[in-house]
Amino acid sequence: GKKLGYTFNNRNFHNVSLGQGQEVVAEQALDLAAKEGHWVILQNIHLVAKWLSSLEKKLEQHGEGSHRDFRVFISAEPAPSPDSHIIPQGILENSIKITNEAPTGMHANLHKALDNFNQDTLEMCTRENEFKSILFALCYFHAVVAERRKFGPQGWNRSYPFNTGDLTISVNVLYNYLEANSKVPYDDLRYLFGEIMYGGHITDDWDRRLCKTYLEEFIKPEMLEGELFLAPGFPLPGNMDYNGYHQYIDDALPPESPYLYGLHPNAEIGFLTQTSEKLFRIVLEMQPRDTNTGEGGGVTREETVKALLDEMLEKLMDEFNIAELMGKVEERTPYIVVAFQECERMNILTSEIKRSLKELDLGLKGELTMTSDMESLQNALFLDTVPESWIRKAYPSMASLGGWFADLLNRIRELETWTGDFSLPSAVWLAGFFNPQSFLTAIMQSTARKNEWPLDKMTLQCDVTKKNREDFASPPREGAYVHGLFMEGARWDAQTGIITDARIKELTPAMPVIFIKAIPADKQDARVVYPCPVYKTRQRGPTFVWTFNLKTKENPSKWVLAGVALLLQT
């Protein structure tokens, strides 16, 4: 503005912050500015979605015949998702766009976190050593929790809006607590940072555990004895001035890698693979949908869908006859109740699949008018994605349609075997259930009945065996052998019977069979265990099933930071 001879005085500069009925003020400012050659700044236009078409018209109107010095600057918050993109195309096409990208990588994030402070901040506390050490550790913590998001669900189960306010308020709290206490109140500080300042955003218990674990690793008495590493190869710096800390980051921080977050390098492979799969999926969905011609005498879209539809209808078995099955059992044990529930859920899903496929078949033959639901089903079959109406009645899955349908047939076969004579399979495929929790609860219920123990005083014990499912000929006397689990973030060492570091490029190694039995809660093994979350899919979060305590020789905090979990599907 200075170069053009502008000064930011009230005469030629109008600043309007939108929201709360400021649209009229904005329109008046635009009219005046267009005539007089002033500048207008419109802030937060994302708050006035309904007014944006009027703004577009107003800008179009002043696009010709207005003063040559007239300028409009518009600011908006980034949209959280593509369906929230509300700025009209016309405005976007006629403007010069500038975005303020958040920094990426630990190096940029750590510098940015430190940029919130200055030399005066570092000198304001009488307990200089403690204050500086904890402030730098907080900056590293802030950078880690913000940047860990890029690793998807292995980073955080859910995405949180951590912001610089969390960091600056935490430093104010730190200052007040250090000034008021003769000893550093580590527990209090960790609680305030982890449960209130940052924890206030967190809605998932496993994410809360992760946040708490970072703080336990970064903020503890050892930090003042020069023995604390914020990441492998990155010790907490000693007492320096403000520029010294920035220099230390440049000199000492190792290059960007998952190790800086406590994660295994596989986390990056997984995240990059999923990102590229997503990109290819979008490219595939953008292909033209010309249905009439098969190129060079090739197969048309309709023919492809029809062939797939016929194959699926042919492979789907009859529904389970629940009344007939009930006649076969003498006593409704907890396991048998689970079997019936699973059969009912499977019937609902398979009948929806058959209904929708038969309807589409008639539509393709021209015997029924094609509806939008039938169109969606046709597109899904063609693009190898699971149709929406099936997903609503199914179990969480991240597979494409081909893999999903093969998995469905396996689940049906597993149920058929089990309901053949209702004896528990020698090793149970835990992933084959709509509701794996109900099966795990049934283990506790049947043990509680047998031994007359109160159900609320019981817990599940998980012993990982050294064998695979083929090695078991019959189920155990109590409890169950379960198979088909995978570990993400680490691997299981069958020889030593503990969690150990993953091998590079083995993202989800299979677990041996696990023996699960119910025991009184007070008889739990007191040895070092890592409480490991079990999820249905890599999506984690809402697909949580149970917690299995797994043996570890290393500190369980290592596996918390590495995002180690068991998955029922890869």
Residue 265 has a pLDDT of 93
Q: Can you give 347-394 as a three-state secondary structure string?
A: HHHHHHHHHHHHHHHHHHHCCCCCCHHHHHHHHHHHHCCCCHHHHCCC
Residue range 383-395, pLDDT digits in tens: 999 999 999 999 9
2-94 shares its CATH topology with 299-423: no
Q: Would residue 497 be called left, alpha or beta, if left means φ above 0 and alpha means ψ between -120 and 50 degrees?
A: left
Residue range 468-497, pLDDT digits in tens: 989 999 999 999 999 999 999 999 999 999
Residue range 419-429, pLDDT digits in tens: 988 888 999 99
Angle between helical axes of 105-114 and 128-147 (0-180°, round to 10) = 140
Average pLDDT over residues 217-237: 92
Residue range 516-552, pLDDT digits in tens: 999 988 887 767 899 999 999 999 999 999 999 999 9
Residue 288 has a pLDDT of 72
The answer to whether 567 and 545 are in contact (CB under 8 A) is: no
Residue 3 has a pLDDT of 43
Residue 8 clears pLDDT 80, i.e. is over it: no
Structure tokens at 322: 């629940």
Q: List, in order, residues 6 or more apart from 195 with CB less than 8 Å away.
A: 208, 212
Residue range 308-317, pLDDT digits in tens: 999 999 999 8
If one counts every other C-beta atom within 10 angstroms of the C-beta of residue 151, the result is 18
Closest alpha carbon to 451 in 431, 479, 475: 479
What's the rounded Cα separation, in Å, for the pair 45 and 78?
A: 11
Instruction: Classify each residue of 537-552 as buried b or exposed e, where b means 16 or more C-beta atoms within 10 Å of its C-beta.
Output: bbbbbebbbbbbbbbb
Percent of the chain's residues with pLDDT above 70: 95
CA dist 14 → 41, 75, 115, 411, 511 (Å): 6, 14, 30, 66, 65
Average pLDDT over residues 556-560: 96
Residue 295 clears pLDDT 80, i.e. is over it: no
Residue range 157-169, pLDDT digits in tens: 999 989 999 999 9
As beta bridge partners, residue 267 has none
Structure tokens at 312: 């699926």
Residue range 170-208, pLDDT digits in tens: 999 999 999 999 899 999 999 999 999 999 999 999 999
Closest alpha carbon to 411 in 434, 436, 389, 438: 434
Q: Where does 299-423 sit in CATH, by number?
A: 1.20.1270
Sign of the Cα torsion 124, 130, 136, 140 reads negative
Sign of the Cα torsion 547, 553, 558, 564 reads negative
Residue range 145-158, pLDDT digits in tens: 999 998 999 999 99
CA dist 148 → 54, 156, 219, 549 (Å): 41, 7, 19, 25
CATH level 3 topology of 106-263: Helicase, Ruva Protein; domain 3 (1.10.8)
What's the rounded Cα separation, in Å, for the pair 206 and 301?
A: 45
Residue range 9-24, pLDDT digits in tens: 445 788 888 877 888 8
Residue 37's pLDDT band, with cuts at 50, 70 and 90, is: confident
Identify the CATH assignment for 426-569 out of 3.40.50.150, 3.50.50.60, 3.40.718.10, 3.10.490.20. Answer: 3.10.490.20
Q: What is the largest CA-CA distance in the chain?
A: 94
Residue 105 clears pLDDT 80, i.e. is over it: yes
Residue 106's pLDDT band, with cuts at 50, 70 and 90, is: very high
Residue 41 clears pLDDT 60, i.e. is over it: yes
Residue 2 has a pLDDT of 42
If one counts every other C-beta atom within 10 angstroms of the C-beta of residue 438, the result is 16
Average pLDDT over residues 117-143: 95
Residue 69 clears pLDDT 50, i.e. is over it: yes
CA dist 511 → 173, 436, 499, 544 (Å): 45, 17, 11, 18
Better-scored residue on pLDDT, 282 or 135:
135
Question: How much is the pTM?
Answer: 0.83
Average pLDDT over residues 448-477: 90
The domain segmentation of the chain, as residue ranges, is 2-94, 106-263, 299-423, 426-569
Average pLDDT over residues 329-338: 90
The answer to whether 478 and 517 are in contact (CB under 8 A) is: yes
Instruction: Measure CA of the first residue to CA of the last residue in the chain; give whole Å.
Output: 56
Burial degree of 167 (CB within 10 A; 0-12, 13-18, 19+) = buried
Q: How many contiguous H segments (helices) and E segments (strands) does the chain have?
A: 19, 15
Highest mean pLDDT, choosing among 33-37, 45-49, 105-109, 368-372? 105-109
Q: Where does 2-94 sit in CATH, by number?
A: 3.40.50.300
Residue 542: strand, helix, or coil: helix
Q: What is the mean pLDDT of the chain?
A: 90
As beta bridge partners, residue 565 has 488
